[in-house]
Amino acid sequence: MIVILKEKNPNPKQLEPLISWLESLDVGTQFTVGARQTIIGLTGDTSVVDIDLIKSMEIVDDVKRVQEPYKKANRKFHADDTVIDVNGVKLGGGQFQMIAGPCSVESREQICLVAQRVKAAGATMLRGGAFKPRTSPYSFQGLQADGLSLLLEAKKLTGLPIVTEIMNISHLPLFEDVDVIQVGARNMQNYDLLKELGRTNKPILLKRGLANTLEELLMSAEYIMSGGNEKVILCERGIRTFETATRNTLDISAIPVLHNKTHLPVIVDPSHAAGIASLVKPLALASTMAGADGLIIEVHNDPPRALCDGAQSLTPEAFDKLAYEVRNVLPLVQKRDG
Amino acid sequence: MIVILKEKNPNPKQLEPLISWLESLDVGTQFTVGARQTIIGLTGDTSVVDIDLIKSMEIVDDVKRVQEPYKKANRKFHADDTVIDVNGVKLGGGQFQMIAGPCSVESREQICLVAQRVKAAGATMLRGGAFKPRTSPYSFQGLQADGLSLLLEAKKLTGLPIVTEIMNISHLPLFEDVDVIQVGARNMQNYDLLKELGRTNKPILLKRGLANTLEELLMSAEYIMSGGNEKVILCERGIRTFETATRNTLDISAIPVLHNKTHLPVIVDPSHAAGIASLVKPLALASTMAGADGLIIEVHNDPPRALCDGAQSLTPEAFDKLAYEVRNVLPLVQKRDG
Amino acid sequence: MIVILKEKNPNPKQLEPLISWLESLDVGTQFTVGARQTIIGLTGDTSVVDIDLIKSMEIVDDVKRVQEPYKKANRKFHADDTVIDVNGVKLGGGQFQMIAGPCSVESREQICLVAQRVKAAGATMLRGGAFKPRTSPYSFQGLQADGLSLLLEAKKLTGLPIVTEIMNISHLPLFEDVDVIQVGARNMQNYDLLKELGRTNKPILLKRGLANTLEELLMSAEYIMSGGNEKVILCERGIRTFETATRNTLDISAIPVLHNKTHLPVIVDPSHAAGIASLVKPLALASTMAGADGLIIEVHNDPPRALCDGAQSLTPEAFDKLAYEVRNVLPLVQKRDG
Amino acid sequence: MIVILKEKNPNPKQLEPLISWLESLDVGTQFTVGARQTIIGLTGDTSVVDIDLIKSMEIVDDVKRVQEPYKKANRKFHADDTVIDVNGVKLGGGQFQMIAGPCSVESREQICLVAQRVKAAGATMLRGGAFKPRTSPYSFQGLQADGLSLLLEAKKLTGLPIVTEIMNISHLPLFEDVDVIQVGARNMQNYDLLKELGRTNKPILLKRGLANTLEELLMSAEYIMSGGNEKVILCERGIRTFETATRNTLDISAIPVLHNKTHLPVIVDPSHAAGIASLVKPLALASTMAGADGLIIEVHNDPPRALCDGAQSLTPEAFDKLAYEVRNVLPLVQKRDG
């Protein structure tokens, strides 16, 4: 961390408390006296230093961080890719997986039909929403606990591990047989939820918030990991920008940037990023080519009748084609599927 | 709602299911045949129609909403300003209130001292965080239940109603003696929390999410109101943009826009919007002049030592000055304080 | 275009002038009377109607556009892909091209060396800046006219057509032997420049502005095309968002969205989008996979010594590798290179 | 400037060229050896150092700037407010001015009528567009040279100095009798135009670009000032964000932030920021209260018939009311009008 003072020769009465406070934290200091301003370089473990506190001191002009504020998620301290084992299905470190299924679980017939179709097409996990975050209180809110039971039936039928979203800590006992617990974009900074998930032993699929930076995404992963659960799968799903031609703007650069900063696997949700079915395939292919470790895609047997997100769901036929083309790309990026 | 078809003469086999589905929802249809495209105007209560579902139909080019998707928060159906009574302190409808206090409750001495100082300066409610949402799991997370107890002591001492943030539904019993429950920006779309608060009888201070539109803010208010609790105070606290000179960008236009769309009171948090103490006063004055019904401001007895958000906290002396200047503005905007 | 009135039965004294004005423009009107509001559908050529003017009328609640405001760039009126012939090198309609070269032309040796290297790697056009838009007046502003001469020397040496940026209409005579004139992101809405280029006969590479929507990009293309020059190549180069991990956020979705809306070719500049050399290859591959018709990439013989944009330039060796991998992708997306 | 190296002990063969290059620029270096990384503090005039060049060096992890990249616009080197004299009307340093008039000059009657009305209401300068930047080539482009003549007639009639936009350097001779030359948001980084205006002796009203940071605005001012013309008036006019309820988001914080960073006067254009007439007054009042040195407001005798931007124009009556209320605010912010 670097502390830039306002002046070359700051008032010692103001400088001294800063220095002694830093020393009390076991942080070392080295001074660089510039033409107009003095700079203090902090050495040692500066993750304990509150950057805003220093910034607010009267003699301080600015503070700049050198080290990243996350540790467990940081590739600098963990060079090898993390591989997450979901009931025998491995994700990360060269293993690429496709997760597919409907936005919402609607009925036994629907979820079982879609599960069989996506499995046949090559998907290795089944997604489906039981608890649904909807912008309007008047929209369908999901089948809730019944939806979870139906997902488990589809799992039994097909053998596909299931991925589904949690919205409320108190529902955690219901998720006992769920294979991957998803934290939705709106809950990426629901810290109490993250802490609780950090105490479980389940893989967590953590979606990037609509307006959250990659650093904030990694800090939310750190919340889960610091609780003891290091099985975190990061998911880019589009960010909010000024552009209105797509629902969100898929941040394709997030894939190589995250791979550089962290050892955690990174998957992409092109369905939510685009919001339009016809864009899902090109975005899925682009994401795979950019190095994603997997995809999570909405597939519905009858998209125009879907109880939510019909606009962005693929038909099983469209998913067959997408999955086929994605698999053709994998050798070019040194990935293995299934 | 207006449905724009792709063609002038759509395939009747595709048009018919759309029309019969709309009729089943008691929604009327009127056709406008254009040069190249036909437009269907939907009449009746279209809030039951899922806009995304129609958008996804093959014959449909686009769908545009005419009515707002919120009802209880909509000024069209409730022309008069809502006035919220917080333990005798009235907010809204010409009554302006200042809420002030530290970011975090740190100790009995601190909260009591700050409470007395802000009361003397003219604040009519006390804010203070007991449960703190922090980006890093390694930062101070608040005094939690002990913090709530200290707030109640400060309330007893000064008579100021207290405003504090909830992060977790399961904590609700601890908030029994809290006067206003705050929902933070990160939880604006934590729908399970909103629903639960909709079943309480307490005023809710609902902060706009960092990247949420004003319509989404009103939809979140609608979640609370549709549960039966209509005492919602909206709070603009800055949005995330590309500009980095301030922590967030205060959306000053939100004040007149919200007053136009809703009858709910609108307050502003200039401290979080700016992130820098020296900007708080000009933003507070500007917000008041733009018609805000109140302000919520961070004040700390020793900002450089504050355990969080010290950079944006005012000293009690600076708050005295701000409060004095804000009160001078009130007659110009036909507002009464206290 | 759809005009939504505030009331079901608007004041005829206010409605009549609107209707007669629309009739004077040869625009037809059809009424839909809803439960609370009346909607007027406008038929005929509504591109002559000023949407903001109608919006501002007292009886009008909102106006929504149905038709796109661009014609010549619109795929609806020109189904086939436009193929642009640059001195025999064809771009668009299945023909994929790589444009490469340094950010700035620095010397004869530099531009000739880089030109030979990128040609050997498979690039089919040479880029190089002679007039450079720099944020600071104190930064290197390009070799200007001398830079153009050096580019022409490199063209003579290698046979590669050249692409270079114009910043000022008065420089147009200097661009007589340039093959493709580039309009930079900062000048995307410099309408006088666009109009003048519309009177030339040269292919124009039009870069998307940092904060411009895809519709605005197409409207700027329309400026050039309405002047008579239909040879416009669109270029996505990243947009400005809140994320700071990359210089800009590459909007990968722009590729399929533009291909859907327009017949003009779409290329991608991953170098400027990323701002970091190590991200250029994954973004180039992803863009190709998403359907781009070409790439424009910065290559410098000695990036750390480049007079501008060194951070994002590839070495010739890195470009060799990128070009090789991009060519491997082309068959998967039914594109032919060279 | 601070250079953060990747390692504690960098390869001397890579470090040496960096140091010798810095020495050749007369920049001093001071080393801080941290636990894992070494930091070099650069001293002396670092404005000559290309930050991107250093960033791209292999041994370098990151570079952080300490000094601002602008000098002439920097308040650190020019503590007193700049006061701009426009034909006897003083703007800045406590002198507040209102600039008003139509978006476009449409006819002699229109501009003369509006000029008289806004003068009577208290405006001290007249704005009016002759050359109009329009998104569509099919929209009205302004009366051009004729519009300038009509503005000069209105100036003769009322004595009000005139403010009008330039879009093209070659038009400069036509602007000889214009009092303030406006650079529109779309041209904020049209550097050739800025340089040319830097060689004139006229006050320049420089509008912030839709997606430009405050630092970029100051760098554009620096372009003009470094050419010798220090009479620059900065104008905040709203930035592009995700919010769609207003045309742009007025960045009210820009006022105090700019006043802190620069000595140049700062005015606000609430008309373009809002895009809706009913929001202009609250935003104008808020801007004044936040410390703006002036306002520029669109006023039209018949807004619904305005040839452009009718939606955001005030009637003369509405402007009377706004001007009256703004003048009431001035004493509260220690400003003098006229």
SS (H, E, C) chain A: CEEEECCCCCCHHHHHHHHHHHHHCCCEEEEEECCCCEEEEEECCHHHCCHHHHHCCCCEEEEECCCCCCCCCEHHHCCCCCCEEECCEEEECCEEEEEEECCECCCHHHHHHHHHHHHHHCCCEEECECCCCCCCCCCCCCCCHHHHHHHHHHHHHHCCCEEEEECCHHHHHHHCCCCEEEECHHHCCCHHHHHHHHCCCCCEEEECCCCCCHHHHHHHHHHHHHCCCCCEEEEECCECCCCCCCCCECECCHHHHHHHHECCCEEECHHHHHCCHHHHHHHHHHHHHCCCCEEEEEECCCHHHCCCCHHHCECHHHHHHHHHHHHHHHHHHCCEEC
Arithmetic mean of pLDDT, C206-211:
96
CATH number of the domain residue B9 falls in = 3.30.70.1140
Over residues A236-266, the pLDDT tens digits come to: 999 999 999 999 999 999 999 999 999 999 9
Residues B266 and B188 in one domain: yes
Nearest to A242 among C213, C243, C253 (CB): C213
Arithmetic mean of pLDDT, B235-250:
95
Residues B174 and B39 in one domain: no
ipTM of predicted complex: 0.91
Residues B151 and B206 in one domain: yes
Which of A8, A25, A61, A66 would you mutate first to test chain D, the one with the most D CBs within 10 A? A66
C190 Cβ contact list (under 8 Å, min separation 6): C183, D167, D186, D187, D190
CA distance C143 to chain B (A): 32
Arithmetic mean of pLDDT, B144-159:
97
| Conformational region of residue D91, where left means phi above 0, alpha means psi within -120 to 50, and beta covers everything else | beta
pLDDT of D151: 98
The rounded percent of chain B whose pLDDT value lies above 70 is: 97
Cα torsion D297, D302, D303, D304 to 10°: value is: 180
Arithmetic mean of pLDDT, D104-115:
95
pLDDT at A55 over 80: no
- For residue C124, give its domain range: 84-337
Over residues B177-221, the pLDDT tens digits come to: 999 999 999 999 999 999 999 999 999 999 999 999 999 999 999
The pLDDT confidence band at residue D44, using thresholds 50, 70 and 90, is confident
B30: in domain? yes
Over residues D7-18, the pLDDT tens digits come to: 888 888 888 888
Residues D59 and D181 in one domain: no
CATH number of the domain residue D309 falls in = 3.20.20.70
What subunits touch chain D, counting only 3 or more CB pairs under 8 A? A, B, C
B175: in domain? yes
Measured distance CA(D52)–CA(A231) in Å, rounded: 37
D24 Cβ contact list (under 8 Å, min separation 6): none
Residues C213 and C265 in one domain: yes
pLDDT of B307: 62
Over residues D266-325, the pLDDT tens digits come to: 999 999 998 888 999 999 999 999 999 999 999 998 876 666 666 778 999 999 999 999
D142: in domain? yes
pLDDT of A49: 80
Q: Which of C73, C12, C17 is nearest to C38 (CA)?
A: C12
Residue of B nearest to A219 (CA): B136
Of residues C162 and C43, the one with the higher pLDDT is: C162
Tokens of A325: 């083309």
pLDDT of B121: 97
Residues B49 and B127 in one domain: no
Query: How many domains does one find in chain B?
Result: 2
Amino acid at position C31, single letter: F
C246: in domain? yes
Measured distance CA(A89)–CA(A85) in Å, rounded: 6
Over residues A184-234, the pLDDT tens digits come to: 999 999 999 999 999 999 999 999 999 999 999 999 999 999 999 999 999
D144: in domain? yes
Across the interface, whether the CB atoms of C310 and D139 are under 8 A apart is answered no
pLDDT of A306: 61
Residues D46 and D94 in one domain: no
Nearest to A35 among D43, D62, D240 (CB): D43
Contact D141, D105 (CB under 8 A): no
Q: Which of B215, B76, B71, B64 is nearest to C32 (CA)?
A: B64
pLDDT of C42: 86
Query: In D31-144, where does DSSP find H-type helix?
Result: 51-55, 108-121
C147: in domain? yes
Residues B254 and B120 in one domain: yes
Measured distance CA(D9)–CA(D11) in Å, rounded: 7
The rounded percent of chain A whose pLDDT value lies above 70 is: 97
Lowest mean pLDDT among B2-11, B47-56, B134-143, D1-10: B47-56
Residues C272 and C236 in one domain: yes
HSE value, Cβ hemisphere, 13 Å, CA-based, for D38 = 14
Q: Which of D118, D95, D121, D162 is nearest to D337 (CA)?
A: D95
**Chain C residues interacting with chain A (CB cutoff of 8 angstroms):** 211, 213-215, 239, 241-246, 249-257, 260, 273-274, 278-279, 282-283, 285-291, 325, 328-329, 332-333
A77: in domain? no
A9 Cβ contact list (under 8 Å, min separation 6): A38
Residues forming a β-bridge with D207? D235
pLDDT at B25 over 80: yes
**Chain C residues interacting with chain B (CB cutoff of 8 angstroms):** 2, 4, 30, 32-37, 39, 41-45, 61-62, 64, 66-67, 211, 240-242, 244
Across the interface, whether the CB atoms of A222 and B189 are under 8 A apart is answered no
Q: Of D64, D93, D117, which residue constitutes the final position of a domain?
A: D64
Residues C108 and C51 in one domain: no
Arithmetic mean of pLDDT, C184-193:
96
DSSP at B172: G
Over residues B117-149, the pLDDT tens digits come to: 999 999 999 999 999 988 888 888 899 999 999
For residue D58, the SS3 value is coil
The pLDDT confidence band at residue C308, using thresholds 50, 70 and 90, is low
Quote the mean pLDDT of chain B.
92
Residues B103 and B18 in one domain: no
Arithmetic mean of pLDDT, D240-261:
96
Arithmetic mean of pLDDT, D125-147:
91
Q: What Rg, from alpha-carbon coordinates, does chain A have?
A: 23
pLDDT at D39 over 70: yes
Chain B CB contacts of C67 under 8 Å are: 36
pLDDT of C179: 98
Residues C115 and C262 in one domain: yes
pLDDT at C13 over 90: no
pLDDT at C310 over 80: no
CB contacts < 8 A, A to B, total 124
Over residues D166-225, the pLDDT tens digits come to: 999 999 999 999 999 999 999 999 999 999 999 999 999 999 999 999 999 999 999 999
The pLDDT confidence band at residue D50, using thresholds 50, 70 and 90, is confident
Arithmetic mean of pLDDT, D41-68:
79
Contact C261, C292 (CB under 8 A): no
Amino acid at position C120, single letter: A
Q: Which of A270, A278, A220 is nearest to A249 (CA)?
A: A270
Across the interface, whether the CB atoms of B39 and C66 are under 8 A apart is answered yes
Residues forming a β-bridge with C29? C42
pLDDT at C76 over 80: yes
C-alpha torsion sign, points D222, D223, D229, D233: negative
Q: Of C64, C99, C115, which residue constitutes the final position of a domain?
A: C64
Tokens of C151: 């580019």
pLDDT at C309 over 70: no
Residue of A nearest to C281 (CA): A290
pLDDT of C307: 61
Contact C220, C73 (CB under 8 A): no
A76: in domain? no
pLDDT of D171: 95
Arithmetic mean of pLDDT, C8-27:
84
pLDDT of C276: 87
The rounded percent of chain B whose pLDDT value lies above 90 is: 70
Quote the mean pLDDT of chain A.
92
Tokens of D181: 């030359």
Arithmetic mean of pLDDT, B21-28:
85
CB atoms within 10 A of CB A101: 31
pLDDT of C8: 84
For the stretch C260-291, what's the b/e string if a residue is b when 16 or more beta carbons lie within 10 angstroms of its beta carbon? ebbbbbbbbbbbbbbbbbebbbbbbbbbbbbb
Measured distance CA(C125)–CA(C129) in Å, rounded: 13
Q: Of C64, C98, C114, which residue constitutes the final position of a domain?
A: C64
What subunits touch chain C, counting only 3 or more CB pairs under 8 A? A, B, D
CA angle C208, C212, C215 (to 5 degrees): 90
Tokens of C238: 């990243």
Over residues A281-308, the pLDDT tens digits come to: 999 999 999 999 999 999 998 876 666 6
Residues forming a β-bridge with B180? B163
Q: Which of A266, A240, A264, A239 is nearest to A255 (CA)?
A: A266
